Amino acid sequence: MILKSTASCLLLAVCILACTEKKKTAAPNQKRGSEKVDVYIVKTEPYSETIEVPGSIVANEVTEIHPEVSGRVVQLNVREGQFVSRGVVLARIYDGDLQAQLNKLEAQLKIAQVNENRAQQLVNIQGISKQDYDNSVLAVKNIQADMALVKTEISRTIVRAPFSGKMGLKEISPGAYVSPATVIATINQVSALKIDFTVPEKYTGQILNGQIVNFTVEGSPRAYTAKVMARESNITVTNRSLTVRGLVTGSTQGLIPGSFAKVTINFAPRPNTVFIPTQSVIPNIRGKQVLLVTGGKALFSDVETGARDSSRVEILKGLKQGDTILTTGIMTTRPGSKIRINKIVN
């Protein structure tokens, strides 16, 4: 009897202890059913997006200087790094053989013209036929045509500046044998400069002719401006970007064609833009979500993001003004959990 009584007491004590532990365990779980968090109330605001893209300074005009004919350079007037005017003689190719041909044709022309005059007098008195006179006239015209051809060949031995600009470094020396494939030097028209830059595909609709962009270059503390003058007719498939060309406005001091530029583009402000704290966005394999407070409970909402700054991210789709989203407790809050608001961060 004593043993049975003792066993009954022990069994009763174990049951009481188990019930007590169950109540203690249940208490924290009941508390976890109501999450205390900070929230952000969504609002709209005007926003002007700014992006930075790479660019390159380019000359208004640039070309390599090539001779039109093959031959030996007898004169070279390339002044490296100096400005030259359009039409200035930069080089001369040997033309002695062409000059000899021209002298020969000039002598032949004089004789032909004398024969033409004599034939004119004879045909007037019917001393020769009209056919003989026409032949003398044709001989003069043939020689004149040959002379024009030789003069053209002589003019092609003279290399001139195609436009006013700054000469680069010369690639040949006097006496060199050159051909039309030979580069004599490069000339850049730097009285006006341009800048080429690329913008991502999604911004192409916001780039307009006449739009002002700002840029800086390495090695210069100055800030420069340019006006958009043209856009490429197609988007580059490899990087999905559009090439844009601007004309540098104001001073071009310190700018050298080929220099790398950092271009800053300010777009027109959008009036009703939604921004939320960056920590509120939850990335996952399907996209991005936020925890939305609806009816005192937390619910997931899919969102589409856009621009970012140091602490905020733009929401393009998924939220509207007045929505309440979580900014803390995001990792521990489950969908459907009751929410107790600790504070509104905005």
Per-residue tens of pLDDT for the chain, all 346 residues: 343 444 444 444 444 444 444 444 444 444 445 678 999 999 999 988 889 999 999 999 999 999 999 999 999 999 999 999 999 999 999 999 999 999 999 999 999 999 999 999 998 888 888 999 899 999 999 999 999 999 999 999 999 999 999 999 999 999 999 999 999 999 999 989 999 999 999 899 899 999 999 999 998 889 999 999 999 999 999 999 999 999 999 888 889 999 999 999 998 888 899 999 999 999 988 899 999 999 899 999 999 998 888 899 999 999 999 999 999 999 888 888 898 999 999 8
Q: Number of folded domains in the chain?
A: 3
Tokens 């690329």 map to which residue? 198
* Distance in angstroms (rounded) separating the CA atoms of residues 330 and 325: 10
The answer to whether residues 229 and 247 touch, using CB atoms and an 8 Å cutoff, is: yes
Same domain for 120 and 191: no
Please indicate, yes or no, if residue 3 is contained in any of the structural domains.
no
Same domain for 174 and 69: yes
Instruction: State the pLDDT at residue 18.
Output: 47
- What are the C-alpha distances in Å from 142 to residues 48, 90, 135, 138, 148? 73, 33, 10, 6, 10
Same domain for 284 and 138: no
* Distance in angstroms (rounded) separating the CA atoms of residues 158 and 179: 13
Domain boundary among 126, 154, 178: 178
Instruction: State the pLDDT at residue 118.
Output: 92
Same domain for 235 and 201: yes
At 120-169, the pLDDT tens digits run 999 888 888 899 989 999 999 999 999 999 999 999 999 999 999 999 99
Range of 233's domain?
52-60+187-266
* Distance in angstroms (rounded) separating the CA atoms of residues 335 and 57: 54
Q: How many helices (H) and strands (E) does the chain have?
A: 3, 21
Which of the 8 DSSP states describes residue 195? Answer: E
Burial of 128 (0-12, 13-18, 19+ CB in 10 A): middle
Q: What is the CATH number of the domain that holds 333?
A: 2.40.420.20
Please indicate, yes or no, if residue 149 is contained in any of the structural domains.
yes
Instruction: State the pLDDT at residue 111.
Output: 95
Same domain for 85 and 106: yes
User: What's the distance, Cα to Cα, between the start and end of the chain in Å?
Assistant: 73
Same domain for 315 and 253: no
Same domain for 109 and 150: yes
* Distance in angstroms (rounded) separating the CA atoms of residues 319 and 306: 13
Q: What is the CATH number of the domain that holds 236?
A: 2.40.30.170
Please indicate, yes or no, if residue 212 is contained in any of the structural domains.
yes
Instruction: State the pLDDT at residue 33.
Output: 53
Same domain for 155 and 200: no
Long-range contacts of 245-250 (CB under 8 A, 24+ apart): 245/58, 245/194, 245/195, 245/196, 246/194, 246/195, 246/196, 246/197, 246/213, 247/192, 247/193, 247/194, 248/57, 248/192, 248/193, 248/194, 248/195, 248/224, 249/212, 249/225, 250/224, 250/225
